[in-house]
Amino acid sequence: MPLSSKATLSMALAKARTAVQLDQAKYHDGARRYYDEVVVLLERVIARASKENDIKKLQTIQQSYKDRIQEIDELLAKA
């Protein structure tokens, strides 16, 4: 049974916190994996959202994680 949007969002936020902690500690591989999971979870919430304002907020947040994934990929490519 799929999780509710609220539960999915809570899971995404928990994973995002972990991603940020790993990122700040320079564990970029782990952070990237968590950011990736957050993007997928947010996509599920966006797909179920009905209010345009909520969708836009979630998409903005999701894009910030996608941007960070790209930055990490660039860092890892240089390493």
**How many angstroms separate the CA atoms of 9 and 15, rounded?**
10
Using the Cα atoms of residue 60, residue 70, residue 3 and residue 9 in order, give the sign of their dihedral: negative
Task: Find out if CATH 1.10.620.20 is the number for domain 5-78.
Answer: no
| pLDDT, tens digit (0-9, with 9 covering 90-100), for 4-54 | 999 999 999 999 999 999 999 999 999 999 999 999 999 999 999 999 999
- Would you list the domain boundaries of the chain? 5-78
C-alpha 68/C-alpha 26 separation (Å) is 13
Q: How much is the pLDDT for 3?
A: 82
Instruction: Output the CA angle 14-56-71, nearest 5 degrees.
Output: 60
pLDDT class for 1, splitting at 50, 70, 90?
low
